[in-house]
Amino acid sequence: MAKMDLSYKYGFLGLGLGGTSIAAACADLSAGDNDYPYTALLVNTNKQDLDKVKTSNTKIKKELIGDGKGAGRDITIGENIFMENKDKILNLMKTNFEKTEFIWISAGLGGGSGTGAVIQAIGLCLEMRKPFGLILTLPRKNERSTVNSNALKRLNKIYAAMDKLGPIIPVDNEKLFTEFMTSNPNASLEEYLAFSNEYVAKAIHDKNIITANFDVYGSTNFDSSELGKMLRTPGVFHFARMEMTVDEFKELDSLKSMENQKAKFITNLHTQIENGVLSSGYDFKKTKRAAISVLCHEQDAQNLFNGVMTNQLENLLLEVAPHATESPVSFHTYSATQFENVKNDAKNRPVYFYVMLAGLDLPAERIKQMIELDKVATESIQSSSSNLFENYEESASSNNNGALTLDALFGGESNTPVEKENESLFQTLGLV
């Protein structure tokens, strides 16, 4: 592939195993001619996990904090270690992200290091006065209750401040894992993790390339400045993508005189928007900004990019995101030198659709599932707890003297279940 321009110089701050893996995959992407346009700083408390992350880009730096033994899925430990090393990490960020225009903080929600550090990392970006966004992975349903509970605790805090933060990209591991294993039933978990990291990286990279490279066909353009508006919009940043061949657009010829009939590709694209690339389950009526970019070979543009297609796509955005303040539809062309593997056969030349929606709320149904799993796990633990000595009466000769008694450790209020962290912020979502 020929060398590509970028709309923005991204830097990736990876936290914990999940976050460093995604950040490394993003920074390892090439913009053509073996050029690595991004930089990354990978921070973890576990030496083995940090060593696991293999990179090609020499601009990716690793930083081990703490004693190297990890945080043991304890978010308080993870946060404390990060805070103890905050000044060192800030200096590393200033060095590594000096020429960066936008920082993506990447964290896998559920563990101790990344989940614990993500709030403090936001503070460092604010201190640097650098625009930033969040890439946050949601745990799979089969992961244990501690992981699910940790993720909820951080999501709760992030949700409370969401209207003051940059874009948030949730990566639903349950969705990606199910889709991957359906297509690759014999694959290992390691193969899935490698796939998902690269999948996330490509989704982010694609938007950065499309807005900076391809020739515009027509009067409407979704360019770098338009992407910048998306990156400055608080809330969830949602992606959808669809690929078709030129031959699959034959129906457009008959639609030129049938403006009111919905084309089949519009129905398919609507489905892809609902499914999303990285997550799903959104109320799209809350979309603040929307855009569709269509990309085809330069020889096909005249036949494909017409008023009918424009009208159909504009109506789709109006249906999906009726309250969006902006919703441009733009058309772009690529050449054979930009995609060297494109076949000369016109019927099989690909046409790409990229949909971007900004300012969404968190995926309510997915969060509701996580809260329900947390409640079930808590109730299960409480119901399985039993006092083997509930019918035993201590003899009268027992000595209870002393400032500190075993009663203080194993009796009295220590048997009262600890109350869960307040989740009232989720009530505004109608989830609890």
- pLDDT at residue 92, as a whole number: 98
Q: Are 101 and 8 in contact (CB under 8 A)?
A: yes
Question: Residue 130's closest CA among 166, 101, 91?
Answer: 101
CATH code at position 189? 3.40.50.1440
Domain finish residue from 162, 182, 210: 210
* 204 lies in the same domain as 232: no
Q: What backbone torsions phi and psi does residue 126 show, to the nearest 5 degrees?
A: -65, -40
Inside any domain, residue 246? yes
Looking only at the bridges linking them, the beta strands covering 215-217 and 235-245 are unpaired
- pLDDT at residue 8, as a whole number: 95
Q: Are 267 and 242 in contact (CB under 8 A)?
A: no
pLDDT tens, position by position, for the chain (432 residues)? 567 889 999 999 999 999 999 999 999 998 776 689 999 999 999 999 999 999 999 999 999 999 999 999 999 999 999 999 999 999 999 999 999 999 999 999 999 999 999 999 999 999 999 999 999 999 998 888 999 999 999 999 999 999 999 999 999 999 999 999 999 999 998 899 999 999 999 999 998 988 888 889 988 888 899 999 999 999 999 999 999 888 877 655 555 555 556 778 898 999 999 999 999 999 999 999 999 999 999 988 988 888 888 888 999 999 999 999 999 999 999 887 776 656 567 778 889 999 999 999 999 999 999 999 998 888 776 666 666 656 556 554 444 444 444 344 334 443 333 334 444 444 544 444
Domain finish residue from 180, 210, 240: 210
Could you tell me the sign of the dihedral formed by the alpha carbons of 281, 224, 18, 43, in that order?
negative
For residue 206, the enclosing domain spans: 10-210
Inside any domain, residue 264? yes
The angle that helices 189-213 and 224-231 make with each other, rounded to 10 degrees, is: 130
- pLDDT at residue 195, as a whole number: 93
CATH code at position 308? 3.30.1330.190
The single-letter code of the amino acid at 289 is R
- pLDDT at residue 245, as a whole number: 86
- pLDDT at residue 422, as a whole number: 40
Per-residue H/E/C for the chain: CCCCCCCCCEEEEEEHHHHHHHHHHHHCCCCCCCCCCCEEEEEECEHHHHHHCCCCCCCEEEEECCCCECCCCCHHHHHHHHHHCHHHHHHHHHHHCCCCCEEEEEEECCCCHHHHHHHHHHHHHHHHCCCEEEEEEECCCCCCHHHHHHHHHHHHHHHHCHHHCCEEEEEEHHHHHHHHHHHCCCCCHHHHHHHHHHHHHHHHHHHHHHHHHCEEECCCCCCHHHHHHHHCCCEEEEEEEEEEEHHHHCHHHHHCCCCCCCCHHHHHHHHHHHHCCCCCCCCHHHCCEEEEEEEEECCCHHHHCCHHHHHHHHHHHHHHCCCCCECCEEEEEECCCCCCCCCCCHHHCEEEEEEEEEEECCCHHHHHHHHHHHHHHHHHHHHHCCCCCCCCCCCCCCCCCCCCCHHHHHCHHHHCCCCCCCCHHHHHHCCC
Structure tokens at 383: 């119901």
Q: Are 121 and 63 in contact (CB under 8 A)?
A: no
* 201 lies in the same domain as 301: no
pTM score of the predicted model: 0.86
* 237 lies in the same domain as 340: yes
Report the alpha-carbon distance of residue 49 to residue 53 in Å, rounded: 7
* 166 lies in the same domain as 41: yes
Inside any domain, residue 313? yes
* 230 lies in the same domain as 199: no
* 84 lies in the same domain as 200: yes
Radius of gyration of the chain from its Cα atoms, rounded to whole angstroms: 25
Number of domains in the chain: 2
Question: Which residues are within 8 A (CB) of 304 and not within 5 positions of it... i.e. 6 or more apart?
Answer: 246, 249, 252, 294, 296, 351
